Chain A
Amino acid sequence: NAGVMQNPRHLVRRRGQEARLRCSPMKGHSHVYWYRQLPEEGLKFMVYLQKENIIDESGMPKERFSAEFPKEGPSILRIQQVVRGDSAAYFCASSPGLRSEQYFGPGTRLTVT
């Protein structure tokens, strides 16, 4: 059973471009969580999704950021018109149920130049 997969592992974007981060949850997991880790800081919750539904996006900036988890395929975190402050590690976690243990992916390190 493969773990949580994230790609790309490293992503470099120029200011103003779009960044798309992908997360494939573990098999059988229908709950996906996205976290952001700014340099030298702890993880911060961004958004929680179940298949085809956003349950809680309270941690996600209202502008430029969006997330989806379609019926088929990975969850996508999309950042439009990236700025230098978006440079961070973005981690995805999945769980089989609401109160189950969350399993983390390796993260995507986004660098905005």
Chain B
Amino acid sequence: KNEVEQSPQNLTAQEGEFITINCSYSVGISALHWLQQHPGGGIVSLFMLSSGKKKHGRLIATINIQEKHSSLHITASHPRDSAVYICAVRSEEGGDSNYQLIWGAGTKLIIKP
């Protein structure tokens, strides 16, 4: 079983729909990242979370440390939001010397006009 699991693997929705992408992890973490990758494109860091909730524009990320779960929400989705969304965690093992990210497999999102 992977240490970081994302669901769904693929998601197709209509423009304007509210989107939720989930990330569950099995290790203790010090931080969780949400990143976006467009087809053939680079990777953009969306959020880094260690607790609570963050909002940027139409994107909202939440994390529940006790339940080892995070969600990424997109409100009023648009075709330009079509991308792969990746969850990655930094394990708390190793303390300050731990820098490696454990990556989820990604969720491929397609928003149809």
Contact = CB atoms under 8 A, between A and B. Distances in A.
Interface of A: 31, 33, 42-45, 48, 56, 91, 98-99, 101-107, 109
A13 B40 CA distance: 19
Given A101-B33, A101-B45, A104-B45, A45 B97 contact: no
Contacts of A31: 99
B105 A42 contact: yes
Interface in B91-111: 96-101, 103-106
Contacts of B105: 42
Interface of B: 30-31, 33, 35, 40-45, 48, 86, 88, 90, 96-101, 103-106
Contacts of A33: 99
Contacts of B86: 42-43
Contacts of A103: 45
Given A42-B103, A42-B106, A104-B35, A99 B90 contact: yes
Given A104-B45, A106-B41, A45 B101 contact: yes
B45 A99 contact: no
Task: Summarize B's interface: helix, strand, loop or mixed.
Answer: strand
Contact of B101 (A102, A106, A107, A109): A102
A44 to B, nearest CB: 8
A44 B104 CA distance: 11
Nearest to A109: B40
A42 B5 CA distance: 12
7 contacts: A42-B105, A43-B103, A45-B100, A99-B30, A99-B98, A102-B101, A106-B42
Contacts of A105: 42
B42 to A, nearest CB: 3
A45 B31 CA distance: 17
Contacts of B104: 42
Contacts of B98: 99
B99 A98 contact: yes
Contacts of B44: 104
